[in-house]
Amino acid sequence: MLEIIRIHNELLGTYGDRGNADVLKYRAGLRKISARVTDISYLDPLPKTGDIYLLGGAEDAAQILSLNALRKGSILTRAANKGAVVLAICAGFQILGNRYVTRDAEIEGLGLLDVVTTPGDRRLVGDIAVATELFDFPLTGFENHSSVTTLGPDAAPFGKVLQGNGNGVAGVDGAIDKNVFGTYLHGPVLARSPEFADLLLERAVGSSISEVDDELALRYAKWRRALIK
Ligand code: GLN
Question: Is 145 noted as a catalytic residue in this protein?
Answer: no
Longest distance between any two alpha carbons in the chain, whole Å: 50
The tens digit of pLDDT for each residue in 113-158 reads 999 999 999 999 999 999 999 999 999 999 999 999 999 999 999 9
State the distance from the centre of ligand 1 to the C-alpha of 59, rounded, in angstroms.
5
Residue nearest to atom 8 of ligand 1 (CA): 57
Confidence (pTM): 0.98
The tens digit of pLDDT for each residue in 197-227 reads 999 999 999 999 999 999 999 999 999 999 9
DSSP string, 191-223: HH-HHHHHHHHHHHHTS-------HHHHHHHHH
CB 92, CB 57: distance < 8 Å = yes
Rounded-to-integer distance, Cα 137 and Cα 126, Å: 20
Q: Which residues line ligand 1 (CB under 6 A)?
A: 15, 57-60, 63, 90-91, 144-147
Question: Is 8 noted as a catalytic residue in this protein?
Answer: no
The tens digit of pLDDT for each residue in 160-184 reads 999 999 999 999 999 999 999 999 9
Of the candidates 187, 91, 182, the one whose C-alpha atom is nearest the C-alpha of residue 139 is: 187
Q: How far apart are the first and last CA of the chain?
A: 41
